[in-house]
Chains A and B, each alone.
Chain A
Amino acid sequence: MRLDFQEASNRLALMRAMALSVGEALIRGSQGICLLFFGSSSVIIACENSQFFKIIFSIPNIRGFMTALIFTLQAIALALVMRQNEGWAKALFWLSFSLTVAWTMFHATDSLQIAL
């Protein structure tokens, strides 16, 4: 039987590429699962033990002040949009958005603790 080196090397390259892509998919998949697991675990732990949020939000008792702060950040973001400073406007939007989500989560966990 005559061995075709070209064909053999092509097949080998193909097999190698397939193995690499399967390996890469496995690594990426496991990374994703790990991230998802640890991410969701930390959120659950944070929610279950709302002391985490209590410590953050009770430092200078910023809970009430935060609403005014978020409105102020949004007003500055709107002013920056109109003054053609898109980058800073978007940064302030995401900052205010994150603060609102944190505030809402705190509110929810606070009530959850009362309910439990």
Chain B
Amino acid sequence: MRLIRFRLPCRKFMTHRLTYNLNALALFCLAIPLVGALGIQLTGDLPCPLCLLERVAMFSVAIGLVLNLRYGLKPSHYAMSMLGALMGLVISGRHVLLHVSGPPGSGYGGAFLGLHLYTWALIVFFCFLIGASVLLLGSAQFETENDSSPRVGWNTSLWARLTSYLIFALCAINAGMAFMECGPLECPENPTGYWIFGH
């Protein structure tokens, strides 16, 4: 007796075009907290060493997504992003645990919508891991020869290119700002000024 092949509905639903655009959207969503964190830093609230590591983890996630947008969707690119998110989850989880036992309002830095930035980072990494796992369920995105949806790629998607350039600019700015803050010395646990300006 021939068995009837059962396929998950999301397998066909997740076309190459849809997943490519979802990757670009995820990259854009990742740029929002990075721009916000940089804005907060420019107002004088300097990031601690763990805050900087959370940003590093966000850029690790972003590199996997940019690889997907530039070279096409591959499971290995998703794996790189997911490892970055896992690392970020560990770092932000540790950051939350460091402050969770203190009295209310004793966390590091200001709060946004009632939550500190490291708590938001924890939520972002968790959501990304869930989202990437769901995206990986759709294997149709990797079978390009059977996909009849219109092709989308780096050269045709201005949205993907702009977001990638934005992420690159943010990464370069963060490199400069981190050096300005810490210099060649150890980053202080509670920084009050930039090393380059003599603080």
Q: Which residues of A contact B (CB under 8 A)?
A: 60-65, 67-68, 70-72, 74-75, 77-79, 81-82, 84, 86, 89-90, 93, 96-97, 100-101, 103-104, 107-108, 111
Contacts and interface: CB of A to CB of B under 8 A. Distances in A.
Contacts, number: 105
10 contacts: A61-B184, A64-B195, A65-B183, A67-B52, A68-B178, A71-B175, A72-B175, A74-B175, A75-B168, A100-B57
Contacts of B195: 64
A115 to B, nearest CB: 11
B187 A77 contact: no
Contacts of A75: 168, 171-172, 175
Chain A interface, >50% SS class: helix
A70 B56 contact: yes
Interface of B: 49-50, 52-53, 55-57, 59-60, 62-63, 66-67, 70-71, 80, 83-84, 87, 90-91, 94, 98, 164-165, 167-168, 171-172, 174-176, 178-179, 182-187, 195
B16 to A, nearest CB: 19
B187 A64 contact: yes
